[in-house]
Amino acid sequence: MGAHGYLSLSLPDILVLLAYFVFVLVVGIWSSYKANRKTVGGFFLAGRGMTWLPIGASLFSSNVGSSLFIGIAGSGAAGGIAIGGFEWNAAWVLVLLGWVFMPMYMRAEVATMPEFLHKRLGGQRIRIYLSLLSLLLCILTKISADLFSGGLFIQVSLGWNLYLSIIGLLLLTAVFTIAGGLTAVMYTDTLHTLVMVAGAFILTFIGFQRVGWYEGFVDGYMSAVPNVTVPNTTCHLPRADAFHMIRDATTGDLPWPGLIFGLTVLATWCWCTDQVIVQRCLSAKNIVHTRGGVVLSGYLKILPMFFIVWPGMMSRALFPDEVACVDPEICKAVCGSAVGCSNIAYPKLVLGLLPVGIRGLMVAVMIAALMSSLTSVFNSSSTIFSLDLWRQIRPYASARELLLVGRLFVLILVTVSIAWIPMIQEANSGQLFDYMQSIASYLAPPVTAVFILSVFWPKLSESGAFWGLLVGLVVGLVRLAVELSFSTPICGEQDVRPVLLRHVHYLHFAIFLCFLSACVMIIGSLISPSMHSPSQLSGLTWWTQPHHVLPNSSLNDTPTSHSKDEANITGASCGSNSREPEMTAEERNSSNKVGSSMEKKGTREKNPDWGLFCHIQALLLLTCNIFLWGYFA
């Protein structure tokens, strides 16, 4: 990429970059010793002793990875501000997470989301299904996208080969995930968030200076047309509704019903049921710290519109020939993709505008965002594989074996994800974020449906839920297969894709798929009623919650905490008597210490004043969110 006019990093930039990662390495090593990494709870759940600040920062940082910097900035460059709605929608479902879902997850004393459904519905097949689907989504929408975006940024800035860049990133990331567990991940996430926000705002300020502040920004974007265009087409022109959030319901690139309702389906899956996110909240000392972290993350999610989407649009205004290229041969030469180069909008701005030294820090920010997102996904994926899948194969597995298997599984995930990267490069007109969201729209809505019904409809049965998930999966895979079978038309090409692709937006499809799955689940549950008694559902649905929500204090630091009934279910399903693996004396002592300290901290820190403060801040967050939607509508 260096041959195509990109600025390379100077010696001061490289020194800043190295200094930052040495500092991060020190923080990671220090923080990894704050929890007992020899027990499953210590490694996977940070000893359940996290406070609101690292929880909120980690929720934000693990979601705003380099794929978001590359993807949202690229979509902003291509289509305008509406893509920022994906960030602002998060506030509503984050409040839903903290005030509806987390009390039940904490009371159920689970470590993974498949484990919660197992306790709520019974049986093992839904637990195994959800575990496998979660790992598949991690590969298709998270790990491969993060690796591609991070590798692309390093390729642009240093001129390295894309796959060589990816290998370098993986080596850096593996240090924290494999060695430190969730504690190291969350403390380094906090550091990454501070640097990420500061560096991104510096870039936004410099960008505004270059384009002539807000008026110049609007005029510059709306007139950003490449010199070489494709005759008799309009694909080189900026959208007329680029500065409007709410767009036409049928012809808009992000139609308003999809942006409001379809996006809420995806956001509920992402923020309320996805292991990567919920695992951070499960590490909290108590529910007050969880809610404090959720509100902090909600406020932080307001910012990407201003320091990611707007800079992406500025990049198009300043570098239209590269970022907004439409001629396939030129695009291929600029970024290696014939369908468009909007993905390079953010790195192009970083390397084209920032002064020496600051440029190196911003490259560090991008790589930090990638590492933060990857470490989060790696840790959560290994948790699911170890506790929900490996324990089905090896019910007598020791804690040491579970930890080893979880670490080794990360290597398999990485290998498969790298093999998927070529598919990402040519997908969705070269817009990375659209690719990520479309894949989620085809696979995640049934998961949203099963969790919503599990929480709000006590009559949901295991059989009804399973068949609803299965029907939703088949329909979603059909749409995904059709999309992968037809390449996205480049500028000037006739769109010969089926009507299902051309006229049914992926966000509209998400609404349909969620509704279809929910209908099958309801009908199936009415035909085969749940075998659970009301006492077995206590605390596992919204209607059977006790009025007093206990702090997260009774969660022991053991591989998992199953009741005798649950152990019998597991044994019957697996064809063996599944008892818990024996703990060593060291693990048992650690468990007792953590449990007793949690009880003291949880009881003392469940201060009504802090709880009320969280309620007020949640209302302020939603009020601010409504104002922003209305102002930019």
Q: Cβ neighbours of residue 96 under 8 Å, at least 6 residues apart?
A: 268, 271, 272
- For residue 315, is pLDDT > 50? yes
583 touches 399 (CB < 8 A): yes
Whole-number Å distance between alpha carbons of 408 and 178: 9
- Look at residues 180, 309, 269, 208 and name the one whose alpha carbon lies nearest to residue 469: 269
**70 three-class SS:** helix
Does 55 reside within a domain? yes
Is the residue at 35 inside a domain?
yes
Instruction: Please write the tens of the pLDDT for every residue from 268-305.
Output: 998 888 877 887 788 777 888 888 888 998 998 898 88
* Greatest Cα-to-Cα distance within the chain, rounded to the nearest angstrom: 76
Band of pLDDT at residue 37, cut at 50, 70 and 90: very low
Q: What is the CATH number of the domain that holds 199?
A: 1.20.1730.10
- Mean pLDDT, range 72-93, rounded to an integer: 87
pTM across the whole model: 0.77
Residue 490 lies in a domain: no
* Residue 626, domain member (yes or no): yes
From first CA to last CA, the distance across the chain in angstroms is 38
- For 284, the 3-state DSSP assignment is strand
Kindly indicate the confidence band of residue 118, based on its pLDDT and cuts at 50, 70 and 90. Answer: confident
Instruction: Inform me whether the pLDDT recorded for 242 exceeds 90.
Output: no
Query: What DSSP designation does 39 have?
Result: S
What is the domain count for the chain? 1
Burial class from Cβ neighbours inside 10 Å (0-12, 13-18, 19+) for residue 234 reads: exposed
Contacts of 633 (CB under 8 A, 6+ apart): 244, 245, 246
pLDDT for residue 601: 39
Per the structure, the complete domain to which residue 72 belongs is given by: 2-428+535-632
> What is the Cβ-side half-sphere exposure of residue 449, based on CA atoms within 13 angstroms?
29
The answer to whether residue 520 sits within a structural domain is: no
The answer on pLDDT for 17 being more than 60 is yes
Q: Please report whether residue 517 resides in a domain.
A: no
The four Cα atoms 267, 271, 273, 277 give a dihedral, to 10 degrees, of 150
pLDDT digits (tens, 9 = 90+) for 436-493: 788 888 988 999 999 999 989 988 888 999 999 999 999 999 988 888 777 777 666 7
Give residue 184's pLDDT. Answer: 60
Quick one: which of 618, 510, 516 has its CA closest to 86? Answer: 510
Contact 598, 552 (CB under 8 A): yes
Q: Is residue 481 part of a domain?
A: no
In a domain, 406, yes or no: yes
Instruction: Over range 216-220, report the average pLDDT.
Output: 87
